[in-house]
Amino acid sequence: MLYDVVIIGAGPAGIQAAIHAVRKKATTLMLGRIERSSLYWAHVENYACVDGVTTGRELLEAGISQVKRFGAQFLEEDVLKIRQKEALFVLDLEGGAVISSRTVIFATGTSRKKLNVPGEKELSGRGVSYCVDCDANFYRNTTVAVVGNASAAIDGALTLTSYAARVYLVSQELVASSDLLDKLKNSTVEHLPGTWVKAIQGENAVQSILLQSGAEVKVDGVFIELGAKGAMELALEIGVQLDLDTMTHIDTNKLAETNVPGVYAAGDIAGHPYQFAKAVGEGCVAGMEAANFARKQKGGGE
C-alpha cells in the first residue's frame, strides 16, 4: 500500500499532523497506540480554549475520532524497520505488512524507558544496551537477554538470533500482533514469561541477570527494549540527523523538516518544551508540509 503521509506516533503531534495532512487531500496513515503518549495519563488545564481540567485520555480519544472522521487511517501497530527505496520510504509493521510512503513524520515522543534496577546504570555501555540494531554485532556467539513486553523486545530478540549463540526474552506479558508472536514461537529465542528483571549483575561487565522469580541467568549482555522501537533508532536507519547539542532529539527547522527530504518531526521528539500546545502546533506544520511535499512529488502544485 502506498500513502502520501505516514505518521509514526499517536500522541497530540501525530494526531494534529494526521488531521492537517488528510484535510489537504493526502492519503494518510497514523501508526501507534495512544496509551503510550505521555499525555494519556495527564490532566490538562493550561490549553487554550479548553476550560477546566480535562484528562489526556479524553483529548486523545477525541483526536482519534477526528482523524478517522476526516478520512485518515489509524493502525495500532508499531514500526519495526524503515528504509528508503528510491523516492519512497518503506516501513515494516509488526503485523507483517510492508507499506510505502512519500513522506514520514516522526511524532513518537522521546523518552528512553529504563528498568531502574540495580546494576543497570553502573553497567550501561558495559553489557547493558538500549538499541539492538546499534549493538547486536558486538555480541556475536555470546549469550544475551532482551527485556520487554512489546514489539521492540520481540523484534530485537529475533534480530539477535542472527548474532548471539543464545537469546533469552524476559517478559511479564507480551502485547504484540499475532504475526510477531508466531515468529517468536517458531524461533530459537528462549522465552522466560511471567517474570521480570530484579537486578543486573557483574563487576566490570554484565555477567548475569537476577529475575523476580529468584532465578539467576548467566548472560553477556542485556538489551532493554521497552515499548515500541524508539524514534532515534528508526530515524537513524534512514540517515536523519540528531540535534548535536543533546543527541536525544531530531534536528528540525521551523517547517518541521529534517535533513532528509520528505522526513519531518514534531512534538517532544523535536525538543523542548515538552508541552501539549507545542506538540499540536508542530504537528499542524508537519502535516501540512508533508502533504505539500507529497503533492509536489506526484507532480502537483501547492
Amino acid letter for position 23: R
Is domain 128-224 classified as CATH 3.40.50.20? no
Residue-level length of the chain: 302
3-state secondary structure of 36: helix
Per-residue pLDDT of the chain (302 residues; tens, 9 = 90+): 999 999 999 999 999 999 999 999 999 999 999 988 878 877 888 889 888 888 889 999 999 999 999 999 999 999 999 999 999 999 999 999 999 999 999 998 765 578 999 999 999 889 998 878 778 889 999 999 999 998 889 999 999 999 999 999 999 999 888 999 999 999 999 999 999 999 999 999 999 999 999 999 999 999 998 866 677 788 888 999 987 665 678 999 999 999 999 999 999 899 888 889 999 999 999 999 999 999 999 886 55
Cβ pair 38, 60 in contact under 8 A: no
C-alpha cell at 199: 537486578
C-alpha cell at 113: 524507558
What Rg do the C-alpha atoms of the chain give, in angstroms?
20
Strands 28-31 and 2-8 turn out to be parallel
Cβ pair 129, 206 in contact under 8 A: no
- Hunting for cell 476526516 — which residue is that? 70
CA 12 – CA 2 distance, rounded (Å): 24
pTM for this model (two decimals): 0.74
Residues of the chain with CATH 3.50.50.60: 2-111+230-297, 128-224
Top CATH class, 2-111+230-297: alpha beta
